């Protein structure tokens, strides 16, 4: 069977050009995760949200489910295709999407972005970190799980550490979020990807906090699962989803909600929470 990869990130193209073979790491409904020499890439259904590790195929979700690919299957990379057993995914004519976040916003635009993010987060009800932000400053209001209670405590400590310019303590508090939560990408990891994106959007990607936090996250990547590690590793390289990159163009709240709600059950909104958090300190 032959099918086309119609879109892919510039990072995935770079990785595929090394022609390192691998194996199927895992399969989740409309996504086939492949491991190439310790690097994860994701073959996804048509119109899935594009991330830095994405290879979007021409197949819809139902067609992806019917491929019957199993974890452990060998993967061979050729000059222009990804081969999984008898399946050939050609990327010869794929559209290449840049994923590096380069643009920072002026203060006036940052204020407007904060307003848009607040509108989205405070009207979202995913059960993820948006729940924390609905009652962020009032610890007397109980949260629905111990995970969220713990996350709120770490965020509060990080917030006040940043205000007092104790960036080492702030980073340690934030790194307690790594692996915190359930699902393919725990909410704490998505939140930290948002924090790193927010530092870049605000022009602070090389500030003291950013430098300390990046080193600490890199040291603690093993505290979460392989898929989250892949996204955090990309974020450390300033590579983010198409949705995150779009924030540099200051879209309205409706557009932000539309693009981020498509990313997992709560992952997109959790990422927005991380961006919102860092823009407010």
Secondary structure of 214-242 as H, E, C letters: HHHHHHCHHHCCHHHHHHHHHHHCCECCH
**Average pLDDT over every residue of 26-42:** 94
Mean pLDDT of 121-126: 94
Please report the pLDDT score of residue 139 as a whole number.
73
Q: What is the pLDDT of residue 281?
A: 92
The answer to whether the beta carbons of residues 101 and 201 sit under 8 Å apart is yes
pLDDT in the model for residue 43: 97
pLDDT in tens, 132-181: 998 766 778 899 999 999 999 999 999 999 999 999 999 999 999 999 99
Query: What digits encode the pLDDT tens for the residues 235-266?
Result: 999 999 999 999 999 999 999 999 999 999 99
Task: Quote the tokens at residue 251.
Answer: 């879209």
| Separation of alpha carbons 82 and 91, rounded Å | 8
Residue 96 has a CB neighbour count (10 Å cut-off) of 14
Determine the Cα–Cα distance for residues 98 and 110; give it in Å rounded to an integer: 23
pLDDT attached to residue 136: 67
Q: Taking residues 20-30, what's their average pLDDT?
A: 92
Distances (CA, A) of 114 to 86, 103, 184, 247: 49, 16, 27, 11
**Counting beta carbons within 10 angstroms of the beta carbon of residue 106, is it exposed (0 to 12), middle (13 to 18) or buried (19 or more)?**
exposed
């Amino acid at each position: 069977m032959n099918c086309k990869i119609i879109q892919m990130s510039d990072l995935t193209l770079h990785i595929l050009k090394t022609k390192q073979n691998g194996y199927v790491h895992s399969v989740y409904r409309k996504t086939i995760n492949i491991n190439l020499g310790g690097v994860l890439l994701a073959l996804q259904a048509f119109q899935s949200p594009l991330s830095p590790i994405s290879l979007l195929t021409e197949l819809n979700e139902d067609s992806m489910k019917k491929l019957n690919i199993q974890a452990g299957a060998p993967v061979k990379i050729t000059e222009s295709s990804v081969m999984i057993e008898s399946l050939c995914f050609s990327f010869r004519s794929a559209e290449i999407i840049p994923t590096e976040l380069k643009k920072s916003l002026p203060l006036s635009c940052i204020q407007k972005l904060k307003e848009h993010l607040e509108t989205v987060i405070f009207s979202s009800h995913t059960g993820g970190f948006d729940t924390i932000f609905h009652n962020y400053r009032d610890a007397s209001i109980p949260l629905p799980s111990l995970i969220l209670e713990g996350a709120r405590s770490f965020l509060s400590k990080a917030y006040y550490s940043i205000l007092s310019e104790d960036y080492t303590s702030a980073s340690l508090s934030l790194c307690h979020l790594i692996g915190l939560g359930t699902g393919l990408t725990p909410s704490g990891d998505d939140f930290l990807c948002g924090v790193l994106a927010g530092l870049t959007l605000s022009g602070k990607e090389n500030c003291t906090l950013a430098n300390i936090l990046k080193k600490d996250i890199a040291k603690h990547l093993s505290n979460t699962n392989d898929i989250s590690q892949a996204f955090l590793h990309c974020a450390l390289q300033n590579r983010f989803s198409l949705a995150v990159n779009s924030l540099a163009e200051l879209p309205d709240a409706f557009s932000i909600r539309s693009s981020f709600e498509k990313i997992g059950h709560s992952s997109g909104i959790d990422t927005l929470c991380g961006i919102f958090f860092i823009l407010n300190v």
